[in-house]
């Protein structure tokens, strides 16, 4: 874990991370302070259930984000061979040999192990050692966005004055409607949070689907675009363990703090042939 990695590398990364943290925090406060009292005014147990579920979701989003941002995933500090091996590259910026599947990120200014892409919301690259936290983050942003969107339906339409084509337009464009005096400032804020929650749900679920498809083939975005399939180890479950670690179900569903060791070092990746040879040798 490296705390120095929390420092934003540029303005868009800083805005992206701040937006994510503020969206999660303001949604939680909005649901607990405004939405829940409107839904269950009598039954306190139901409220406690929603609040506990909300705390669990917020904890998973924030802890996955923390682990994602602080996990060291670069080639810096690793012993690299001085001769260029097959599938290795020489990185002109790092002035060193880079292992297969690693690429240099201009923003992070380092070669990242099994690099997928640079994520603006976490301000870091998604690669071999932190993919698991990115996947957990997407899952809980999707779940949290869906949960909040369902709860918001019991609050927002009433706040906007009922369901009609004009209030649908209000809901979609809260800022202009507030500027023209159609809705008050608090209603604009509530509606804006609801839109952010809906976007969080759609964004989280779409990216989760996209990365699940990559994961079951053990590919990065670059490898998918280039049609590289040599790292797939055949069965989808084996490929999932390659990406999320051996204890992936508990680690993804419960918490990023649950241990789920990855089978590789992030430098050497066997092909399906080499992997089956290795596993028959170890039997």
* E strand spans, 83-190: 89-91, 96-98, 103-105, 110-112, 117-119, 124-126
Residues serving a catalytic function are 119
Answer yes or no: are the C-beta atoms of 244 and 215 closer than 8 Å: yes
What is the nearest approach in angstroms of Zn ion to the Cβ of residue 91? 3
Per DSSP, what are the bridge partners of residue 90? 97
Closest CB to Zn ion among 99 and 174? Answer: 99
Contact residues toward Zn ion (CB under 5 A) are 91, 93-94, 104-105, 107-108, 111, 118, 125
Q: How far is CA 129 from the centre of its chain?
A: 14
Kind plus residue range of the DSSP H or E element containing 216? helix 185-216
Answer yes or no: are the C-beta atoms of 156 and 194 closer than 8 Å: yes
Where residue 162 falls (left for φ over 0; alpha for ψ -120 to 50; beta otherwise) is left
Answer yes or no: are the C-beta atoms of 9 and 123 closer than 8 Å: yes
What is the nearest approach in angstroms of Zn ion to the Cβ of residue 106? 8
Residue 245, classed as helix, strand or coil, is coil
Closest CB to Zn ion among 15 and 91? Answer: 91
Structure tokens at 103: 């690429």
Closest CB to Zn ion among 27 and 98? Answer: 98
Residue 71, classed as helix, strand or coil, is coil
What is the nearest approach in angstroms of Zn ion to the Cβ of residue 75? 7
What is the nearest approach in angstroms of Zn ion to the Cβ of residue 70? 14
What is the nearest approach in angstroms of Zn ion to the Cβ of residue 210? 18
Structure tokens at 130: 């932190």
What is the nearest approach in angstroms of Zn ion to the Cβ of residue 69? 11
Residue listed under structure tokens 């949070």: 193
Q: How far is CA 9 from the centre of its chain?
A: 18
CA Rg value for the chain: 22
End-to-end CA distance of the chain, in Å? 35
């Amino acid at each position: 874990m490296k705390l120095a990695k929390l420092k934003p590398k540029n303005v868009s990364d800083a805005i992206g991370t701040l937006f994510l943290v503020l969206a999660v925090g303001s949604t939680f406060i909005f649901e607990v302070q405004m939405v829940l009292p409107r839904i269950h005014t009598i039954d306190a147990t139901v409220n406690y259930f929603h609040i506990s579920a909300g705390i669990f979701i917020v904890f998973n989003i924030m802890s996955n984000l923390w682990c994602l941002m602080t996990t060291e995933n670069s080639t810096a500090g690793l012993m690299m061979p001085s001769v260029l091996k097959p599938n290795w590259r020489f990185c002109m910026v790092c002035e060193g040999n880079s292992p297969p599947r690693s690429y240099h990120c201009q923003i992070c200014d380092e070669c990242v192990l099994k690099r997928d892409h640079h994520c603006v919301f976490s301000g870091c690259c998604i690669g071999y050692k932190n993919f698991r936290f990115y996947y957990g983050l997407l899952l809980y942003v999707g779940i949290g966005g869906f949960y909040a969107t369902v709860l918001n339906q019991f609050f927002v339409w009433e706040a906007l004055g009922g369901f009609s084509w004009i209030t649908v337009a209000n809901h979609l464009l809260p800022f202009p409607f507030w500027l023209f005096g159609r809705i008050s400032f608090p209603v604009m804020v509530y509606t804006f949070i609801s839109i952010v929650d809906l976007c969080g749900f759609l964004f989280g679920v779409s990216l989760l689907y996209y990365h699940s498809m990559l994961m079951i083939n053990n590919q990065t975005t670059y490898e998918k675009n280039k049609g590289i399939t040599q790292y797939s180890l055949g069965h989808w479950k084996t490929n999932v363990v390659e990406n999320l670690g051996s204890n992936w179900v508990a680690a993804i569903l419960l918490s990023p703090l649950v241990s789920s060791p990855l089978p590789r070092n992030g430098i050497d990746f066997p092909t399906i042939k080499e992997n089956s040879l290795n596993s028959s040798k170890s039997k």
